[in-house]
Amino acid sequence: MKKYLLIVLGMSIVGCKSIVKTDFRDDFRGMNEKEVAVFLKKNNATSKEKSILLLTQGFKGEKIEVKQNGKNVYSSYPITNLNNRIADYFSVNNQNDLIILDNFSKKELVVTSRNSKKHKFIYVMKIHEENSVRYKITYSNTLKSAFHF
Q: Residues 86-95: pLDDT tens digits?
A: 999 999 999 9
Instruction: Tell me the chain's radius of gyration from C-alpha atoms.
Output: 16
Res 129: pLDDT: 85
pTM over 0.85: no
Q: Spell 69-101 as b/e; 16+ CB within 10 A means b.
A: eeeebbeeebebeeeebbbbbebbbbeeebebb
Average pLDDT over residues 23-36: 69
For residues 23 and 49, what is the distance between their CA atoms, to the nearest angstrom? 21
